[in-house]
């Protein structure tokens, strides 16, 4: 239940990340080496991954385990559940109770959330909460559309580019939202409609007629199947008088 609620609360973050994938091809779930290619420690890690730009997910894959070792790439990281802070480029043993998957946020990240609900559309979403994690610099494109139609292909969507800046020597961060927070972005051209199917020859060709010989020449024998015996029978039309 805890993680079901988290999924719906994170929908603004997940939806925006899906938009990034649609625009750039960058997958939502990313191996650590994709994001931290200069860190050799990430090359062989297969049980942690980035979910979008800011979340690092560390599933527990050992039956009965109540803790696991997590590698933190360079930078500063925060435990999503407790807010505890970790310095990067080191391994840490993390407690992982059964009801809580280890989840961490990169410093400088923005996590947009919405109220919890039981299913999409249960409540009108009129408030988006922005969770800021200080200690770094980052940007996040918050994407929204009507959620029902393909109008986004004609440019009917809102894209708010959030920027987080941390002042040197201070532990706080400032969120910058452009004056035109919601802007209509360029639309991808709609996919062309497939050409209409050509009618089959049977629909366009005129009915075929058998060309019979002239009356002065006896017609050739006609071969027709004998449906009762499974054999072919041969018959000849009567000769013209």
| Positions of the chain with pLDDT lower than 50, given as ranges | 179-192, 202, 204-212, 214-215, 217-241
CA dist 183 and 137 (Å) reads 23
- Taking the CB of residue 23, how many other CB atoms lie within 10 A of it? 13
Confirm whether pTM is higher than 0.75. Answer: no
Residue 225 φ/ψ, nearest 5 degrees = -75, 140
**What's the pLDDT score for residue 114?**
94
Residues 87 and 97: their CA atoms lie apart, in Å, by 22
What's the rounded Cα separation, in Å, for the pair 61 and 84? 23
Residue 51's pLDDT is 97
β-pair type (90-95, 67-72): antiparallel
Phi, psi angle pair for 55, to nearest 5°? -105, 135
């Amino acid at each position: 239940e805890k993680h079901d609620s988290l999924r719906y609360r994170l929908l603004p973050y997940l939806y925006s990340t899906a938009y990034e994938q649609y625009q750039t091809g960058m997958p939502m779930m990313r191996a650590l080496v994709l994001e931290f290619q200069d860190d050799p420690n990430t090359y062989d890690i297969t049980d942690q991954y980035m979910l979008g730009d800011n979340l690092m997910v560390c599933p527990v894959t050992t039956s009965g385990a109540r803790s696991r070792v997590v590698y933190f790439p360079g930078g500063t990281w925060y435990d999503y559940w407790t807010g505890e802070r970790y310095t990067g480029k080191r391994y840490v043993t993390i407690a992982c109770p059964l009801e809580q998957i280890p989840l961490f946020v990169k410093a400088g990240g923005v996590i947009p959330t919405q109220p919890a609900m039981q299913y999409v559309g249960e409540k009108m979403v009129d408030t988006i909460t922005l969770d800021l994690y200080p200690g770094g610099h980052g940007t996040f494109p918050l994407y929204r559309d009507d959620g029902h139609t393909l109008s986004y292909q004609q440019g009917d969507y809102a894209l708010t580019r959030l920027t987080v800046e941390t002042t040197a020597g201070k532990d706080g961060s400032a969120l910058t939202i452009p004056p035109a927070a919601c802007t209509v972005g360029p639309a991808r051209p709609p996919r062309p409609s497939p050409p209409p199917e050509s009618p089959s020859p049977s629909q366009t060709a005129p009915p075929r007629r058998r060309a019979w010989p002239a009356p002065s020449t006896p017609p050739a024998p006609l071969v027709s199947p004998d449906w009762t015996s499974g054999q072919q029978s041969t018959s000849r039309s009567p000769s013209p008088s």
